[in-house]
Structure 1
Amino acid sequence: MAALAAHDVPELAAIAPQVLDAANRFLIDDTQYLKPEDRDMLSRAFVFSEAAHRGQTRQSGEPYISHPLAVAGILTAWHLDAQALAAALLHDVMEDTGVSKLEITEKFGKPVAELVDGMSKIDKLEFQSKEEAQAENFRKMLLAMARDVRVMLIKLADRLHNMRTMDAMRPDKQKRIARETMDIYAPIANRIGLNAVYQELDDLSFKYLHPRRHGVLAKALKAARGNRREVVSKILDGIKHKLADVGIEASVSGREKNLNSIYRKMQEKQLSFSEVLDIYAFRVIVKDVPTCYLTLGSLHALYKPIAGKFKDYIAIPKSNGYQSLHTTLFGPYGTPIEIQIRTQDMHRIADAGVASHWMYKSGDDSFSDVQQKTHQWLQSLLELQTDSGDAIEFLEHIKVDLFPDQVYVFTPKGKILNLPQGATCVDFAYAVHSDIGDRCIAAKINHELVPLRYKLKNGDQVEIVTAAHAKPNPSWLTFVTTGKARGHIRHFLKSMRFEDSVQLGERLLLNALSTLHLPSQSVTDEVWDKYLRENGVKSRNDVLADIGLGKRLAVVVTKRLAQLAGQWQEESPSSKKGPAVTIRGTEGMAIQFARCCNPIPGDPILGLVKKDQGLIIHTHDCPVLSKGRVDADKLIDVEWDPEVSRLFDVPIRVLVDNARGALATIAAAIAEHDANIAAVSTQEPEDEDQRYMQIQFTLQVSNRQHLARILRGLRALENVYRIQRTRA
């Protein structure tokens, strides 16, 4: 028998009578849909959890066991299975009472233990900040959810009960939890289709974040209900009579926006409370899909539709499986009426989303689309986990993907893809496949070429042009919006940067070995193995990458390698100079050219090893180096390769006569010398009578001699007064 009796709990007197009553209501009434043996397991789970939590209380003073019991009770409304309900009863025992995962596995089975583990926070690891700890816990939970969506359903029920019972907490803690709920948990509930949970979490978050505004709006809404009753009744009667006249059986009801959505609308559209409340909202539920469209036509005949306010989420469902027809009509007295038209099955999915899989299981698996969409999103979490370097970055990607506003676009073959509002062609390319994203070079929207940063609009047909040798551009990170695109680009750039850094680190190490007159072959694999063990580093490439990125000094590493090789000489290496590192200008991301002095081939140069940035090339007379704050150990002798083939940016400032056509004349002279103009800006004289105008060019030149030829050509022009190569 599932009901709890005295012989089940040795110290029955220790359990509060109200808790025992709640447990019996849960086990006898709420879980009627389960088999007797499943309810017996839940009885054991309650007894185990109560014993583990005995003596613990909530902030309100209630016995702690009342919380997991309430969470399990919320889940019964979705008809979740016995494993999920048992995990809900036990969800805090690992975290708060020291019960091990092994113990739960032995008593309740591995699936229950995995669910409980997915719910437990990561307490044993050390984090640098509270934000990092929070992000790592989210990552663990979301990845557990990707393996089993029941983890998230339990977590949402847990958060919902906590939000309902926060009155006893300190205001600062209330605000922190409410902010976290509004940013993460409410959007997740919306993303997986739990509309009722989303609405309640959203409203409760608003209540604790803005208690005064919530109170004022709640009072105003209560007063407005009475004033609106007559209009609502008139519209309801009109809709019902119209549908009855054409023989459509339907359930018609009014619906209210939640307080936070009213507040958001007031803020976003700069509307008053009365203007937001002037929109009346109704829901019509019919028997099947064809009747939805018949109903739409009938209502458009009753009240005139407002142009551009119709959305067909039946033909193109939202990513969380939501389906309905949305239309806005001119009602009586000129009041706008928002109407949703859906079937009973659609209504269940709108309320319960992915949980409807458990609520309304059927032999024909009629909700497989919802399951499939959720599964695809969960799998994308696993992809993000692979591409994200740390938990905070992972959480950033998730937050981006949780925003509900979406655009629907078409592939060339007519397949529909939904992306977040503001998504670009690059986001689309990565949504199709990561290889398409990595190799995209151009995009066509409705058969016309557009920039890759073009923001997609509803109904766009998107075609991506790829090239075999193309690769992601770092500038894409400034405009992509989806977590998948951002994660793949960052992952690619990190990989490329690592490879570039290894190559640069090897060059710097060989340079340092030459400084010590130590042949490279003397640093054997055995010497490297000793160094790696001594420093706790996994591989030689990791050390070389650290040198290339400036995290380790080549001279320090070299000295230690020489000591381990038994060839260290006590004379100071700082007095010697090794061969200069040759710079070709095409080495990749590990070698950068300083923006303060813009060195070009022919300039005397020095290399500065900067932490996390690699080798930065400066001119000898660069103002940054001349300030004397640079550590001498971080300066590297570098020289230009004789065969540098790329172009380099160099800024120049030209003072010219303030006359019509001056800019065109100078641009033509620059073009004559085979130079590109990368950027140009003008500074008009403050006084109209002033004779001179200043023009700033960024030229692309091959070397110093090329620049000199351009400057000589410009000085020969009559209207040029002064030319100067500029530095920061």
Structure 2
Amino acid sequence: MNLTPADPTLLTPPARRRGSDRHASNPTPSEPAPAPGVASVTALVAKLSEYLSASDMKKVKEAYRFSDEMHLGQMRKSGEPYISHPIAVAEICADWKLDVQAIMAALLHDVMEDQDVRKDELIERFGAPVASLVDGLSKLDKLEFQSQIEMQAENFRKMLLAMARDVRVILIKLADRLHNMRTLNFMSSEKKRRIARETMDVYVPIAHRLGLNTLYRELQDLAFAHLYPVRYRTLGKAVKSARGNRREVVTKILESVKNTLDAAGIPAQVYGREKTLFGIYRKMRSKHLSFSQVLDVYGFRIVVDSFANCYVALGTLHSLFKPMPGKFKDYIAIPKLNGYQSLHTTLIGPYGTPVEFQIRTQEMHRVAESGVAAHWLYKNEQGNVGDLQQRTHAWLQSLLDIQKQTGDSAEFLEHVKVDLFPDSVYVFTPKSTIIALPRGATALDFAYTIHTAIGDCAIASKINHEHAPLRTELRNGDIVEIVTSPTSRPSPTWLAFVRTGKARSAIRHHLRTINLPESIALGQELLAQALSALNLNPSIPDALADRLLNESSAKSLDELYADIGVGKRMAALVARHIFGLSEHDLSAVAEGGSDGRPLAQRLEPVVINGTEGIAVQLAPCCLPIPGDKMIGHLRRDQGLTVHASDCDIAKRQRSKEPEQWTDVKWSTDLHRRFDCRIKVLVQNVKGVLARVAAEIGEADANIIFVGMDEDRDQKMTQLRFTVQVEDRVHLARLMRNVRQIPSVARIVRERA
């Protein structure tokens, strides 16, 4: 029987429930009337009836009744019956027109986690596909983990791997997270901030990566509202006030564009759109602007009827308003990594206001708003989203590759979060295949993206047919070719400059598995030396070893030694941790092992020489060099990240987590050079770049990167160099030489 919104068999609770002696003769009360905004079965059935068959609706009914039975008596923090949450999640999935198995899984997604329903019971009642979806969505709260961080990382790992096998897992999970964020007001302030931060760090990037832009924007704004409520309310009031002031401008632009397109014979829908509060806030932060300085709060979208008319409409717009130089992007010819396609252009509108336009077809608009969900949402229409599905499948497959090479859940999540970073560069293979990589990716990242074996054997690269080192950052449009050698092997130093999760996990996997006995022996020797320097016994007692392993992800001392041997951990830092554990022992206190001062004040600064491998990373935001005062950021299982003491990013992070920072100093015995960024403002005259490069060479410094302003019509141009120097004295000599060039107006050291 086909279920309609008025079907009483779906709206009436089941006659008998688990743990209850109620029978049909003594029925439970019917579903209470939902409060405003609360999901109801009636609305869900109305949406599902639009596209599901009668037999599918019967399966949904069975899943609803079972979920209602399992959650009987369970309430949400808001006071609503808990069943309202699975219904709301299923309703969001119905908006995407997900199939019957996904809708059933949405209704059942909490029964394993909250009610101890076994997977085999779900298989028996609803089939293996539905049970697998629910299992992928269920958390691991019932297992024992060494820390909350490890438990969270393992939950994400399980969810992402289930998603790699079936993308519906993450679609249901995102719907679940969206409803939880919409109803977060009933949680404590601390829990609201924790969930909002988790949403911003993981779920927002996943939504963006899958092209779910509508969901992505709403999750961003909801997380922003709970992370910074005062800023959110203040900015919201400012935007509301600005609407009235800018209404005349928006109306004038809309009318002008519509009339111009009509006159050109281009069928189009034109409408204005307001940027999200978080989008405005992010621009204010990144560009150090006040709200009044953010002129492009409004943008305009033009949806045309054909691919060719996208470019015709662009030309028409450019004849109406003057385009801003360097503000045009063609995401139709080269789509974004998540399949997004549009033409972007910024024009100078009336009253000199910059106005952003997006031009796309109806099919592109569907994919832009619904991303990978467009596969279900528009599967009965002619739109072709095959390329998007292939891109998504390739990324999901890369998750499985990373899992095979990764030792623990925290490391797996670290790699995945790197790949979720939204900015991308697009480069070409020698055969003109487009490869998308995260912003800042290097030639070595490109090699590992092509194939792990190519990355492992890489020795150099050719970028635009010119030889370049593997650490060279790639730029849009580069043609990249990798030079390999069968005798080449990954080096720990590679981890200092690779950007993608796949490259990082492959290098670590190789270092972890090759020459394991030698790595263990080397790590044991290095730790013994570090312990002796702190006047501790190099032989670690069993009780202390157990405590040490419990507070790290290492499963044995051999694994800990191997991590030190391959450079994943730093011997001096492990020794300091052992010192911190031993000082709490009664024997240590009785012998005067502690003088009452914090541990960081009683120990000498960690000495580094810059060749420690992956255990020590020089922060890319400030790139400290010898002579700089430094501080180090200790992150669990990620070694030591060294910042310059005056680094703004380090100051902000240190104020939030002061206990994770330690003093660091340079070794007096340094035998290498260090990267440093400089900016040079020059007059745009013939030969100036050659003059500057020659002076850098005269100062005995090596140039590894050169960049410049894209607009070469101006009188002044800013050149950007990454150079390798010995220390601050060497850098000062280099800058003094360059400053003497007549065409140079200013030279400064660049920091983020």
What TM-score, normalized by structure 2, do the two folds share? 0.67
In structure 2, how many angstroms separate the alpha carbons of the residues matched to 1:77 and 1:651?
61
In structure 1, how many angstroms separate the alpha carbons of the residues matched to 2:450 and 2:487?
19
Seen in structure 2, the aligned counterparts of structure 1 residues 328 and 131 have a Cα distance that, compared at 3 Å, is same
Q: Is the 8 A contact 1:27 1:42 kept in 2?
A: no
In structure 1, how many angstroms separate the alpha carbons of the residues matched to 2:562 and 2:95?
58
Tell me whether 1:429 sits opposite 2:411 in the alignment.
no
Tell me whether 1:14 sits opposite 2:29 in the alignment.
yes
Note the C-alpha offset of 1:456.
Answer: 1.0
Tell me whether 1:345 sits opposite 2:363 in the alignment.
yes
In structure 2, how many angstroms separate the alpha carbons of the residues matched to 1:31 and 1:381?
36
Q: Is the 8 A contact 1:505 1:545 kept in 2?
A: no
Partner of 1:209: 227
Seen in structure 2, the aligned counterparts of structure 1 residues 274 and 132 have a Cα distance that, compared at 3 Å, is same
Give the alignment partner of residue 489 of structure 2, picking from 462, 471, 477: 471
Give the alignment partner of residue 404 of structure 1, picking from 422, 431, 436: 422
Partner of 1:70: 88
Seen in structure 2, the aligned counterparts of structure 1 residues 105 and 274 have a Cα distance that, compared at 3 Å, is same
SS of residue paired to 1:488? helix
Note the C-alpha offset of 1:15.
Answer: 4.0
Q: Is the 8 A contact 2:13 2:65 kept in 1?
A: no
Give the alignment partner of residue 199 of structure 1, picking from 202, 213, 217: 217
Note the C-alpha offset of 1:505.
Answer: 11
Partner of 2:687: none
In structure 1, how many angstroms separate the alpha carbons of the residues matched to 2:27 and 2:42?
14
Partner of 1:496: 514
Alignment of 1:217-232 (within 5 A): 217-232=235-250
In structure 2, how many angstroms separate the alpha carbons of the residues matched to 1:485 and 1:362?
39
Partner of 1:27: 45
Q: Is the 8 A contact 1:279 1:338 kept in 2?
A: no
SS of residue paired to 2:432? coil
Equivalent AA in structure 2 for residue 312 of structure 1 = D
Q: Deviations over 1:192-216 (max 9, x none)?
A: 0100000000000000000000000
Partner of 2:745: none
Seen in structure 2, the aligned counterparts of structure 1 residues 681 and 372 have a Cα distance that, compared at 3 Å, is closer
Note the C-alpha offset of 1:411.
Answer: 1.3
Give the alignment partner of residue 416 of structure 1, picking from 431, 434, 445: 434
SS of residue paired to 1:308? strand
Equivalent AA in structure 2 for residue 416 of structure 1 = I
Equivalent AA in structure 2 for residue 86 of structure 1 = M
Seen in structure 2, the aligned counterparts of structure 1 residues 504 and 187 have a Cα distance that, compared at 3 Å, is closer
Q: Deviations over 1:268-294 (max 9, x none)?
A: 001111221445410000011001011
- The farther-off stretch of 135-144 and 494-503 is 494-503
Note the C-alpha offset of 1:498.
Answer: 1.4
Give the alignment partner of residue 162 of structure 1, picking from 180, 194, 215: 180
Equivalent AA in structure 2 for residue 184 of structure 1 = V
% of aligned pairs identical? Answer: 57
Alignment of 1:302-317 (within 5 A): 302-317=320-335
Partner of 1:251: 269
Partner of 1:38: 56
In structure 1, how many angstroms separate the alpha carbons of the residues matched to 2:47 and 2:560?
63
Partner of 2:286: 268
Note the C-alpha offset of 1:28.
Answer: 3.8
In structure 2, how many angstroms separate the alpha carbons of the residues matched to 1:120 and 1:108?
16
SS of residue paired to 1:281? strand
Q: Is the 8 A contact 1:279 1:336 kept in 2?
A: no
Give the alignment partner of residue 353 of structure 2, picking from 335, 347, 350: 335
Tell me whether 1:446 sits opposite 2:461 in the alignment.
no
In structure 2, how many angstroms separate the alpha carbons of the residues matched to 1:132 and 1:120?
16
Q: Deviations over 1:37-74 (max 9, x none)?
A: 11111111111101100000000110000000000001
Note the C-alpha offset of 1:502.
Answer: 7.2
Q: Is the 8 A contact 1:45 1:89 kept in 2?
A: yes
Q: Is the 8 A contact 2:275 2:298 kept in 1?
A: no
Q: Deviations over 1:227-260 (max 9, x none)?
A: 1110000000110011011100000000111111
Partner of 1:131: 149
Q: Is the 8 A contact 1:4 1:24 kept in 2?
A: no
Alignment of 1:209-608 (within 5 A): 209-278=227-296, 280-362=298-380, 366-501=384-519
Q: Is the 8 A contact 2:442 2:474 kept in 1?
A: yes
Q: Deviations over 1:80-107 (max 9, x none)?
A: 0111000000000010011111111111
Q: Is the 8 A contact 1:4 1:43 kept in 2?
A: no
Q: Is the 8 A contact 2:270 2:300 kept in 1?
A: yes
Note the C-alpha offset of 1:451.
Answer: 2.3
Seen in structure 2, the aligned counterparts of structure 1 residues 434 and 337 have a Cα distance that, compared at 3 Å, is same
Note the C-alpha offset of 1:450.
Answer: 2.1
Q: Is the 8 A contact 2:419 2:500 kept in 1?
A: yes
In structure 2, how many angstroms separate the alpha carbons of the residues matched to 1:489 and 1:443?
18
Note the C-alpha offset of 1:342.
Answer: 0.3
> If you compute each CA radius of gyration, which structure gives the higher value, 1 or 2?
1
Q: Is the 8 A contact 2:444 2:470 kept in 1?
A: yes
Note the C-alpha offset of 1:489.
Answer: 0.6
In structure 1, how many angstroms separate the alpha carbons of the residues matched to 2:726 and 2:238?
57
Tell me whether 1:4 sits opposite 2:8 in the alignment.
yes
- Name structure 1 gaps, 5 residues minimum: 508-541, 552-588, 593-611, 613-648, 653-666, 668-677, 685-728
Q: Is the 8 A contact 1:397 1:487 kept in 2?
A: yes
SS of residue paired to 1:310? strand
Equivalent AA in structure 1 for residue 232 of structure 2 = H
SS of residue paired to 2:325? coil
In structure 1, how many angstroms separate the alpha carbons of the residues matched to 2:361 and 2:563?
60
Q: Deviations over 1:515-550 (max 9, x none)?
A: xxxxxxxxxxxxxxxxxxxxxxxxxxx999889889
Equivalent AA in structure 2 for residue 341 of structure 1 = I
Q: Is the 8 A contact 2:67 2:108 kept in 1?
A: yes
Seen in structure 2, the aligned counterparts of structure 1 residues 245 and 406 have a Cα distance that, compared at 3 Å, is same
Q: Is the 8 A contact 1:145 1:378 kept in 2?
A: yes
Q: Deviations over 1:416-448 (max 9, x none)?
A: 111111111111111111111111111122122
In structure 2, how many angstroms separate the alpha carbons of the residues matched to 1:478 and 1:225?
47
Seen in structure 2, the aligned counterparts of structure 1 residues 545 and 35 have a Cα distance that, compared at 3 Å, is closer
Q: Is the 8 A contact 1:501 1:546 kept in 2?
A: no
Equivalent AA in structure 2 for residue 18 of structure 1 = A
Note the C-alpha offset of 1:125.
Answer: 2.3
Q: Deviations over 1:10-59 (max 9, x none)?
A: 46533432269921331244432100111111111111101100000000
Seen in structure 2, the aligned counterparts of structure 1 residues 393 and 303 have a Cα distance that, compared at 3 Å, is same
Note the C-alpha offset of 1:4.
Answer: 3.3
In structure 2, how many angstroms separate the alpha carbons of the residues matched to 1:650 and 1:237?
70
In structure 2, how many angstroms separate the alpha carbons of the residues matched to 1:549 and 1:232?
59
In structure 1, how many angstroms separate the alpha carbons of the residues matched to 2:160 and 2:181?
20
In structure 2, how many angstroms separate the alpha carbons of the residues matched to 1:159 and 1:546?
37
Seen in structure 2, the aligned counterparts of structure 1 residues 477 and 339 have a Cα distance that, compared at 3 Å, is same
Partner of 1:118: 136
Note the C-alpha offset of 1:124.
Answer: 3.1
Q: Is the 8 A contact 1:31 1:76 kept in 2?
A: no
Q: Is the 8 A contact 1:499 1:545 kept in 2?
A: no
Seen in structure 2, the aligned counterparts of structure 1 residues 683 and 343 have a Cα distance that, compared at 3 Å, is closer
Note the C-alpha offset of 1:367.
Answer: 1.0
In structure 2, how many angstroms separate the alpha carbons of the residues matched to 1:173 and 1:21?
23
Give the alignment partner of residue 122 of structure 2, picking from 81, 96, 104: 104
Q: Deviations over 1:456-513 (max 9, x none)?
A: 1111111211111111111111111110110111111111241534788999xxxxxx
